[in-house]
Amino acid sequence: MTVHDELRDILHPPIEPRTSGLLAIEDQWIYWEESGNPAGKPVIVLHGGPGGGSRPVYRRYFDPDHYRIIQMDQRGCGQSQPNAGDWASLSRNTTWTLVDDIEALRRYLGIESWVVFGGSWGSTLALAYSQKHPARVLDLILRGIFLIRNLELRWFYGGGGAHLLFPDYWQEFTAPLDPSVPVESAIDEYHKLLEGPDRAAAIRAALSWTRWEAKTSTLLMDSDGVDLASEPRSAIAFARIENHYFRHSAFLASNQLLDQADVIKDIPCTIVHGRYDVVCPMANAFDLHSRLPRSTLVIVDDAGHAMSEPGIARALVEATEKHSH
């Protein structure tokens, strides 16, 4: 049985959106869609990256009879406009503009409060949103916790440890960089390439950046995920937005999401994390769980980072069932 066969048996059947649109916010057009039961428990699905965009498969983690499923493409990516894949400016793309976009969408849809579901960068954004608007959050379902601490960025992008597990992929990741520059400066060096005048070099850099994450996100290689990361326009958006955020520590103070965890201590929360997650090490989930007394930590022993891995998918479906009432 392949991974995709397993997912077919774990996830809910495919569904189509009931409605969708573009929400105008300042000079941005934010794509959103709604599926499932219009009278069900509302849930906002926050995709990863930043810059990853939503996918149809995300709807399948929720029982459509029980949930009113809301997805959005965060500014600059997916079907939102203007798009970073078309070299749009990122000057007004920050964690806090995204938090404001989420809140604007909630008001536009007339939702009083909702479940917030997010993985990887989506978990970061879910925490930032819930800490700013705790009264609007019914439950939290988080996966692959990413707290944007300096140690996490060094681990994955600065030669802090992940490269020792994947030296072949790391060699590909660092190939576009000047070999005389310390690897600790990889994020800044990639910024020069991604935002430089040589568009061909920027595209090559974007593909190297996205493939590094795609190749290390699963315990076993997911060739479909790597292929998805190899589409140039989406790779440019993904790499530019991620690099922009990571250069600015996601516009968060050092350790902010843990230091302010007390704000959301009364919100029921399920945390799902793969034991062999190299992109966002499991210590992140352990640290967050220790700060949230109403959280449940589910460790998936046969998985890495991706929500498409069967063990993580199964745990997320169980979590959405638990929080559906």
CATH number where 61 lies:
3.40.50.1820
Is beta strand 41-46 parallel, antiparallel or unpaired with respect to 67-72? Answer: parallel
Q: Residue 229's pLDDT is what?
A: 85
Q: Residue 5's pLDDT is what?
A: 75
Out of 249, 275, 291, a domain closes at 249
3-state secondary structure of 143: strand
Rg (CA), the chain: 18
Q: Do residues 272 and 180 both lie within one domain?
A: no
Q: Do residues 217 and 297 both lie within one domain?
A: no
Out of 233, 249, 265, a domain closes at 249
Number of domains in the chain: 2
Indicate which residue of 35, 80, 120, 208 is catalytic: 120
Q: Do residues 10 and 85 both lie within one domain?
A: yes
Q: Residue 228's pLDDT is what?
A: 84
Q: Do residues 8 and 130 both lie within one domain?
A: yes
243: containing domain: 151-249
Gap between the Cα atoms of 187 and 225, Å rounded: 22
Whether 305 is catalytic is yes
Handedness of CA 203, 45, 75, 241 (dihedral sign): negative
Indicate which residue of 277, 289, 295, 323 is catalytic: 277
Q: Do residues 34 and 61 both lie within one domain?
A: yes
Query: Residue 106: what are its φ and ψ, rounded to 5°?
Result: -60, -45
Whether 120 is catalytic is yes
Enumerate residues 6+ apart whose C-beta is below 8 A from 171: none
**pTM of the predicted model over 0.95:** yes
Ranges of residues in the chain whose predicted pLDDT is under 70: 1-4
Indicate which residue of 163, 244, 305, 323 is catalytic: 305
Q: Do residues 308 and 224 both lie within one domain?
A: no
Q: Do residues 241 and 193 both lie within one domain?
A: yes
Q: Residue 6's pLDDT is what?
A: 84
